[in-house]
A and B are shown apart, each in its own frame.
Chain A
Amino acid sequence: MAETAISHDHDASHGAHSSTGLSNNKLGMWMFLGSECLLFGGLISTYMLYKGRVNSGPQPNKIFDIPFTSVSSFVLLMSSLTMVLAVSAAQRKDERNMNLWLIITALLGATFVGGQVYEFTSFYREGLGFTTSLFGSSFYTLTGFHGVHVSVGIIMLMALVGMNRNNRIPGDRAEVVELIGLYWHFVDIVWIVIFTLVYLIPS
């Protein structure tokens, strides 16, 4: 929850006189993302340790549907592109396009999360529950944490659109959009790592 708190805390400065030249909010977001690296580092390590440990239930290669996940990964990566377009529109003060691209980004993110929900349900039907095996526990924990991060990102995007409509974004709007963009790209990059390690490299 720290992430939304930070990104919405536009109080202090807008980089006018900061010692580093970065605004407080942006520096804070970078620090938070640095911390998040270690969070996913711990989760990914756990998964890598346990991915081959299947005492019962299906093996990873039996249930992964690589084409499906590739498509949803592609959707998520495209959302980074639309996020960039939103930031660029915000910097041009082109409010209409900014809103449009933010909504499209959120929709693409929601598509990804929807795909994950579908994937989880079908895995569950094929016999991989959260407690079935160590592989199951660590798989759902890792991808679940990522899914929660994407969902928080979607909430942030929608909140941004809503707040912008009511003209409630304090301070530098372009920077606020950029900050949420930083978070969004980070979550995408983490997914590239997860997709490679979990789905593409055979166990």
Chain B
Amino acid sequence: MTIIERPTTEVAVAGGAPSGVKPSEALGVFKRPAASTSWRDWIVTVDHKKLGIMYGVSAFFFFLIGGVEALLIRLQLIAPNGKVLNADQYNQMFTMHATTMVFLFVMPMAAAFANYFVPLQIGARDVAFPRINAFGFWCFLFGGLFLNSSWFLGGGADGGWFMYAPNSSTLFSPSHGIDFWTVGLQITGIASLTGAINLIVTILNMRTKGMKMMRMPIFTWMVLVTQFLLLFAIPVITVALFLLTFQRSFGATFFDVASGADPLLWQHLFWIFGHPEVYIMILPSFGIVSEVIPVFSKKPLFGYPIVAMSGAAIGFVGWGVWAHHMFASGLGPVSVAVFSMSTMAIAVPTGVKIVNWVMTMWGGKLTFTIPMMFAIALIVQFTIGGLSGVTHAVAPADTQQTDTYYIVAHFHYVLFGGAVFGLFSGFYYWWPKMFRRQLNNAIGKWNFWLMVIGMNLTFGPMHILGLQGQPRRMQVWTEARAGEGFFNLGFWNRIASIGSFTLGTGVLLFLVNVVYTHKSKKVAIAPLDPWDARSLEWMTQSPPQEHNFDVLPTVSHLDEFFHRKYETDSSTHGVTQVRSAEEVMAELNAHPDEHIHMPSRSYWPILLASSLPVIGYGVIYNRTLMAVGAGLILLTMFGWAMEPSTSPDDDFDPPAPGEGGGHTKELSPLG
């Protein structure tokens, strides 16, 4: 909030440049970018909503790439002795599929929602560090592109997404794929780390008046927990990736058994990051459905504090379960017993959440809109995945299941049935907020059912395949060893492949829906409050103006927007609507804030982020290039530091009385 309330002269004076010349111009590098509506504005923007959309579009692009990789895998396995991919290509395909989905789709898509909606939900006008926010996005995008550029430079990484040592050494993987992987993830890691710091500070520090922690919407709560997990998990994978880069590019022997190294070091470092990562992926989706279910049940969330605290509990216990990924590595009975118990324990707060969602729906007036359907599907599918997860907690059973398709079935039920369904629920729920149009219901239904049926057809049979012993990461199966009757592996593999294409069609229908919604003349402008929603982000226009709220609301309730629309009748304990959404907004905006001062656009985030892949290519190909990259980073950082984050003279002011028109005035161009 203070962004806007700071006296504007402070920056101007601090600049010390002659009057009329902005400090960045005085430095003689760039003129500060001015507001515009062209594509250039997307390059220099620091607006959290634009960045949210950019995160979303880029992540969806990577989702499609990862999806094609998955379809190629299933095409290879549709029939015995598949010829679509050779063994090497198959290795690259499953490695890059998992890496893309985890690091370039689910995480940044959650970041997209967090960026867009957290400031709106807590009643802030922007995030705490707008330029760092932009920097984070560009790091993610350039990191992802860098990682995928390996396809054109000798092939992708081929060691599995957890890249176990010593299989990841140059002896077993001589191509540059793994080098691209380590450096690319390092760059996207910077995005996650800066994003985490930014969002934590935003949530802790920039809540509007009266927005206590226990009045924050659950989505914001879950984002907060996720960002703390990222804050502490990312440095651990950073260490692991550095060690692997040093081994592959600089001759160190951290994971080389012949030199006396312990390859389990990699597994520990990876999973100390990797297990919190699982919750990093699922908790934002839990947050989304915790918003969606109360709205479409017409009831407040059952046990709000319990849902918030169970999320925090997952965040804590999530640090004590990593070795359940390593039961088969010979940890010893004490470690196995301890991690087995903690893994069972973490099922409790997760189960608590599921109970709370069900209890929210219990007795509610349910409306089965598309977001609600995805939310309910999440509950069902995630519960199935959670139950198979509990069977992994039993170490003897897990030893049997390790590296079989049963594991693949489990984590796709929790990740696709959980995380991805939650994200799709979010797409349909918040689309009218972001774009002023509601996605089409009929196409949405097809989208939903094809995805649900497709995912169950794809991943359901993998339980059977896995318990029968079909190993993961095998590029062919043969008819001779396929078994008979119900346990015929060939039959179930075929079903899974058919299911994957059903799933793919479902996802494509989402794109069709988006195009239809935005191209068709028949689609009407969505109303201000299409779902009768409960939280602050709906208390401003759609899409929100750059400064989010003309007046920052003062919050006195959990579900503030709902309480402004409805009042409780003390005799009947029923609620009656007393104001429409439009009336609530008109009341709020009766006296708009003056001198709203927003952070200014900047070239530096994209320039600094684009120096990172230069270092990356340098590590792989040419040491001089590394030095060039490092020099670029120093230069761009210096430029960044010299540019005040807010230029003095762009103000939003409410229109003068009688002037009429919209709520906002466009930014006046600078310089």
Residues of A within 8 A of B642 (CB): 163, 168
Chain B nearest Cβ from A111, distance in angstroms: 22
B interface secondary structure, majority:
helix
Q: B594 at the A/B interface (Cβ < 8 Å)?
A: no
Q: A126 at the A/B interface (Cβ < 8 Å)?
A: no
The answer to whether A1 and B198 touch (CB under 8 A), given A19-B206, A49-B262, is no
Bitwise interface map of B from 216 to 255 toward A, beta carbon under 8 Å scored 1, else 0: 0000000000000001111110111011001000111110
Segment of A32-40, A66-74, A94-102, A181-189 in the binding face: A32-40
Query: Which 6 residue pairs spanning A and B have beta carbons closest together?
Result: A11-B645, A42-B239, A13-B2, A39-B235, A8-B641, A167-B16
Nearest A-chain residue to B200, judged by Cβ = A31
Q: What's the interface size class on B, roughly?
A: 35 or more
Residues of B within 8 A of A15 (CB): 2
29 contacts between A and B (CB under 8 A): A5-B135, A5-B640, A6-B132, A11-B644, A11-B646, A12-B126, A12-B129, A13-B205, A16-B5, A19-B206, A19-B211, A27-B128, A27-B200, A28-B201, A42-B236, A43-B239, A50-B262, A55-B259, A130-B251, A134-B261, A138-B254, A141-B242, A141-B243, A159-B638, A159-B641, A166-B16, A167-B16, A168-B23, A170-B14
Nearest A-chain residue to B240, judged by Cβ = A42
The answer to whether A39 and B239 touch (CB under 8 A), given A1-B633, A159-B638, is yes
Q: A121 at the A/B interface (Cβ < 8 Å)?
A: no
Q: Check if A170 sits within 8 Å of B11, measured CB to CB.
A: yes
Q: Check if A42 sits within 8 Å of B269, measured CB to CB.
A: yes
Chain A nearest Cβ from B440, distance in angstroms: 40
Chain A residues at the B interface, C-beta cutoff of 8 Å: 1-2, 4-6, 8-20, 22-24, 27-28, 31-32, 34-39, 41-43, 46, 49-50, 53, 55, 130-131, 133-134, 137-138, 141, 155, 159, 163, 166-171
Q: Check if A1 sits within 8 Å of B608, measured CB to CB.
A: yes
B residues 384-418 in Cβ contact with A at 8 Å:
none
Nearest A-chain residue to B637, judged by Cβ = A4
Residue among B131, B197, B645 with the highest chain A CB neighbour number at 10 A: B197
Known A-B contacts: A27-B200, A50-B262. Give 17 more (CB < 8 A): A2-B194, A13-B2, A13-B6, A18-B206, A20-B204, A27-B201, A31-B201, A35-B193, A36-B235, A39-B238, A39-B239, A43-B239, A46-B254, A53-B261, A134-B259, A170-B645, A171-B14
Q: How far is the CA of A22 from the CA of B204 in the complex (A)?
A: 10
Q: B461 at the A/B interface (Cβ < 8 Å)?
A: no
Chain A nearest Cβ from B144, distance in angstroms: 18
Q: B207 at the A/B interface (Cβ < 8 Å)?
A: yes
Chain B nearest Cβ from A168, distance in angstroms: 6
Residues of B within 8 A of A8 (CB): 637, 640-641
Residues of B within 8 A of A10 (CB): 644-645
Nearest A-chain residue to B11, judged by Cβ = A170
Q: How far is the CA of A166 from the CA of B206 in the complex (A)?
A: 31
Nearest A-chain residue to B3, judged by Cβ = A12
Q: Check if B235 sits within 8 Å of A35, measured CB to CB.
A: yes
Residues of B within 8 A of A167 (CB): 14, 16
The answer to whether A170 and B10 touch (CB under 8 A), given A53-B260, A55-B260, A137-B252, is yes
The answer to whether A14 and B197 touch (CB under 8 A), given A38-B236, A163-B642, A167-B14, is no
The answer to whether A34 and B14 touch (CB under 8 A), given A20-B204, A141-B243, is no
Residues of B within 8 A of A39 (CB): 235-236, 238-239
Chain B residues at the A interface, C-beta cutoff of 8 Å: 1-3, 5-6, 10-11, 14-16, 23, 126, 128-132, 135, 190, 193-194, 196-198, 200-201, 204-207, 211, 231-236, 238-240, 242-243, 246, 250-254, 259-262, 265, 269, 272, 599, 608, 633-634, 637-638, 640-642, 644-646
Nearest A-chain residue to B634, judged by Cβ = A155
Chain A nearest Cβ from B393, distance in angstroms: 25
Q: How far is the CA of A5 from the CA of B234 in the complex (A)?
A: 18
Q: Check if B259 sits within 8 Å of A133, measured CB to CB.
A: yes
The answer to whether A38 and B235 touch (CB under 8 A), given A11-B129, A131-B251, A138-B254, is yes
Nearest A-chain residue to B197, judged by Cβ = A31
Residue among B14, B190, B198, B240 with the highest chain A CB neighbour number at 10 A: B14
Residues of B within 8 A of A53 (CB): 259-261
Residues of B within 8 A of A159 (CB): 638, 641
Residues of A within 8 A of B633 (CB): 1
Identify A11's interface contact among B130, B206, B207, B260, CB under 8 A: B130
Q: How far is the CA of A39 from the CA of B261 in the complex (A)?
A: 20
Q: Check if B252 sits within 8 Å of A12, measured CB to CB.
A: no
Residues of A within 8 A of B235 (CB): 35-39, 41-42
Nearest A-chain residue to B255, judged by Cβ = A134
